Amino acid sequence: MIQLSTELDELIHRWQPSADQLSVIVDRVQHFFGEGDARKQVLFDNELSIRAGEIVIMTGPSGSGKTTLLTLMGTLRTVQEGSLRVLGRELRGMSPPKMVELRKDIGFIFQAHNLFESLTAHQNVRMATQLVGVADSESDGEIKRLLERLGLGHRIHYKPKSLSGGQKQRVAIARGVVHRPRLILADEPTAALDAESGREVVSLFQELAREHNCTIVIVTHDNRILDVADRIVNMVDGRIHSNVLVQRTAVICQVLSDIPLFRSLTPRVLSHVADRMRIRTFAAGEAIIRQGEMGDEFFVIGKGDVEIVIDGNVVNRLGAGSFFGEVSLIKEQPRNATVQAVAPVICFTLMKEDFQEVMGQSASFEEELRRVIFDRQ
């Protein structure tokens, strides 16, 4: 796990991704169980935003409210106080038919796996694709592939009574993801699994997040899987006690996904870009690039302002979300301007080869880049 610098941490706190990039927005959610004298508050004023494609791990002592929050997100409980938006829709006051519709986009993996005893592993998984209206002829191959991948190739036609606890759990996982939900809610998904199958489940989650932009919320005590988290949320006594973005790539992705230039990139290309980016900081007054030098680096401003200076004259000022340094990479010419930090600046940078690779992978990236360059002239 990478420890983030305070400065970067601060940057992220300041950064508010736009609502359309968030899969889950928990806003002042409270929850109570029981009536009258027995009424007990179990969630207190919770706030949490989860970006599309993020893997969030929720930890915390037993009884701290993790399952309650997860079931609220999944429309399995009614939101009593506060607002909860999931996949762009408000759950507070949502009608039951709308909930049924929304649940098709959600994959549930809960502790009591509720497999149908009379159905085989394959048939249990098929329940999920049938619910979203996929023809059996279309889903059969995918179901088989998933079960094989989870180490159940030889158990596909077994009924739950002939499966071990861990095997049943893996069937439930396959059922939770087979219909390609946009949001997966998993409560202790790896608890009953040995190290090897736990790892396989985790790598499946990562693939779904990276390649299909699936958002995944996992409640777990399993320290072996903490490293997959983009964000770790710790709950104590019904409150979110801490909420930390832990992966450098996730941090950069979050910043980039709010910048128009990067918005057109698929999640996969975006995390690839973020993986390759360096974080560089500059002091106020420092020259970041100099006119006349050959350039091999592209800069995106994460925080702070810069001045563009040509032949000693300040011609422009750029702030967070802007970029510079592209002209000499595209045209293979010396830098046409000096860029200097006005205040302390944090930049995310790409070296020439990586920059060119991204240009090659995304026509819209190149188009957007050329448009901005054209507008600046």
Ligand X SMILES: Nc1ncnc2c1ncn2[C@@H]1O[C@H](COP(=O)(O)OP(=O)(O)O)[C@@H](O)[C@H]1O
Stretch that binds Mg ion, among 27-35, 62-70, 77-85, 277-285 (CB under 5 A): 62-70
CB of 101 to Mg ion, least distance (A): 26
Stretch that binds Mg ion, among 61-69, 72-80, 89-97, 124-132 (CB under 5 A): 61-69
Is 59 a binding residue for Mg ion by CB under 5 A? The answer is: no
Identify any residues that bridge with 55 across adjacent strands, giving them in sequence order.
216
In the complex with Mg ion, the residue whose CB is nearer, 187 or 297, is: 187
249 binds, among Mg ion, ligand X, none (CB under 5 to 8 A by kind): none
CB of 186 to ligand X, least distance (A): 12
In the complex with ligand X, the residue whose CB is nearer, 42 or 269, is: 42
Is 67 a binding residue for Mg ion by CB under 5 A? The answer is: yes
**Sheet of 231-236, strand order:** 106-109, 183-187, 215-219, 55-59, 231-236, 239-245
CB of 63 to Mg ion, least distance (A): 8
Residues 70/38, Cβ–Cβ less than 8 Å? no
CB of 172 to Mg ion, least distance (A): 16
CB of 169 to Mg ion, least distance (A): 15
63 binds, among Mg ion, ligand X, none (CB under 5 to 8 A by kind): ligand X
Is 190 a binding residue for Mg ion by CB under 5 A? The answer is: no
CB of 214 to ligand X, least distance (A): 22
32 binds, among Mg ion, ligand X, none (CB under 5 to 8 A by kind): none
Stretch that binds Mg ion, among 18-26, 67-75, 124-132, 328-336 (CB under 5 A): 67-75
Residues that bind ligand X (CB under 6 A): 33-34, 42, 60, 62-68
33 binds, among Mg ion, ligand X, none (CB under 5 to 8 A by kind): ligand X
